[in-house]
Amino acid sequence: MQRVKSASSVLSRYTANNNGGFISRLKRSLSSLSNSPLTDDQENFVLVEGNGASRTAILNRPSVLNALNTSIGARLQKLYSSWEDDPDIGIVQLKGRGRAFCAGGDIVALYNVIRQGNIEQGKEFFWTIYNFIYMLGTYLKPHHALMLMQVALLHGITMGGGAGVSIPGTFRVATDKTVFATPETLIGFHPDAGASFYLSHLPGYLGEYLALTGDKLNGVEMLSCGLATHYSLAAKLPLIEEQLGSLTTDDPSVIEGSLQNFGDLVHPDPTSVVHWIETLDKCFGHDTVEEIIDALESEASRTKDVWSTSTLKKLKDTSPLSLKVSLRSIREGRFQTLDQCLIREYRMSLQGISGKITSDFCEGVRARLVDKDSMPKFNHKWLLVQYSFSLHLIFRDAQWNPPSLELVTADMVDEYFSPVTALEPDLELPTKLREAFL
């Protein structure tokens, strides 16, 4: 069977109301992660359906928005490896159970193991997830452009690591229920899981905007900007799954045609960020965060437009150090391959969980999700991972260290891109065996 990557591209922003009911439900879901181990051998966290040429992998942790842990990453890699070795299997559907595709990483489980001094488990988490992402975006060299055709059904919340395990694949179907974001800067982290690669390849400087602000996109916007390859109403998903499950070929043109049969013609809302792309490029095309903010302030003063004003507020509520390292990460990603981005992001993620440079996101998880006292007491002795992809819906008043852009030194930023120690090994990826498509 032929497994050639299909390449149609397009992106979006979510403007749904963040009502208190949704936020409180999301908060309860994230809080419940604290009792979940980072490494768990329960195979039912990823269910498998299908036969013949098609398989469906189902992320099955609906109570925690299908958050990823190390075991899920390892099971996905094991499953995909076995399917890749089977010449009769060519199509894999990936979906989430419940109201989320995948909200990202299991942040409180990471918090718990690292607070207990087991930073090695945190490293294993990133190592495992990043390796699966690399596998998803590559093909085995001996087969010369052969790969599994993944169709990710992005129904519901798709954030951070959830985007990481879907966007490198062949097809991404967004729906009217899709909510996409990479909100890591809002919790003192950086967009990772391959985000510096795919965000940097979006039109203009949209990737910088999404990385720095953590803004949300809906399914229509994802399609219009390149993160999704197809858009269908959520009510059609059962029909799509049935159609794909009945295919006896993995020819991408046949899969493309099947998805197009269920597609819906839609246009971004008038308030969508895609209609502000000219202003966005003018502001986010600058070399530094300070220049970007200056440009936004000038635009807001001149035009009094809502977009510039709201974007400024988002940036000023965000971790200053995260803003600077994330901008540099996206800019470097423009000139790097997928494997180079993942290796660099691995270094950055270990710095983030080590607490050596800052404890921004570390103490925030304790205050907001663990003790829930909403009183962050920033202390560099805390070692904690705040690896969340949904918290931008909750956290609005975090305090940061350093508290301002002026206090973020070049040395701090450089250190964030360096190994935690001189002896710390870099992420190892099977680059001699596999080849990235882009």
pLDDT at 19: 40
Low-confidence ranges of the chain (pLDDT < 70): 1-37, 40-42, 141-146, 361-398, 437-438
Nearest residue to 162 (alpha-carbon basis) of 220, 121, 205, 222 = 222
Question: Does some domain include residue 5?
Answer: no
pLDDT at 171: 96
Same domain, 133 and 117: yes
pLDDT at 400: 80
DSSP structural state of residue 425: P
- With beta carbons less than 8 A apart as the criterion, state whether 349 and 326 touch: no
Overall number of domains in the chain: 2
Token duo for residue 160: 């951070």
* Total-model pTM: 0.86
Place of tokens 């099977």: 430
Give residue 276's identity as a one-letter amino acid code: W
pLDDT at 301: 93
Region label for 104, one of left (φ > 0), alpha (ψ between -120 and 50) or beta (otherwise): left
pLDDT at 334: 96
Same domain, 26 and 166: yes
CA distance 250 to 263: 19
Distances, alpha carbon 427 to alpha carbons 122, 335, 433, in Å: 13, 19, 15
Question: Does some domain include residue 57?
Answer: yes
* Domain end (from 234, 269, 304): 269
DSSP calls for 316-329: HTS-HHHHHHHHHH
Same domain, 32 and 169: yes
pLDDT at 18: 40
| Buried residues in 181-217 as b, exposed as e (16+ CB within 10 A) | bbbbbbbbbbbbbbbbbbbbebbebbbbbbbbbbbbb
CA distance 154 to 96: 8
Token duo for residue 109: 């489980």
Same domain, 219 and 173: yes
pLDDT at 282: 96
Nearest residue to 103 (alpha-carbon basis) of 215, 179, 22, 192 = 179
pLDDT at 351: 93
Domain that includes residue 294, residue range: 273-416
Question: Does some domain include residue 131?
Answer: yes
pLDDT at 394: 40
Name the 3-class secondary structure at 332: helix
Give residue 24's identity as a one-letter amino acid code: S
Same domain, 288 and 265: no
Question: Does some domain include residue 426?
Answer: no
Distances, alpha carbon 223 to alpha carbons 85, 267, 276, 283, in Å: 32, 9, 16, 23
Same domain, 238 and 279: no
Same domain, 265 and 277: no
CA distance 41 to 277: 45
Q: What is the CATH number of the domain that holds 142?
A: 3.90.226.10
- With beta carbons less than 8 A apart as the criterion, state whether 151 and 255 touch: yes
Catalytic residue ranges: 105, 161, 184, 192
* Alpha helices, DSSP H, located in 214-264: 219-225, 237-246, 252-261
DSSP structural state of residue 310: H
Same domain, 147 and 116: yes
Question: Does some domain include residue 15?
Answer: no
Same domain, 138 and 173: yes
Name the 3-class secondary structure at 199: helix
**In the Cβ-directed half-sphere of 363, how many Cα atoms lie within 13 Å?**
17
pLDDT at 187: 78
- With beta carbons less than 8 A apart as the criterion, state whether 166 and 158 touch: yes
Question: Does some domain include residue 384?
Answer: yes
Same domain, 175 and 227: yes
Same domain, 264 and 283: no
Residue spans of beta strands (DSSP E) within 175-236 = 179-181, 217-218, 230-231
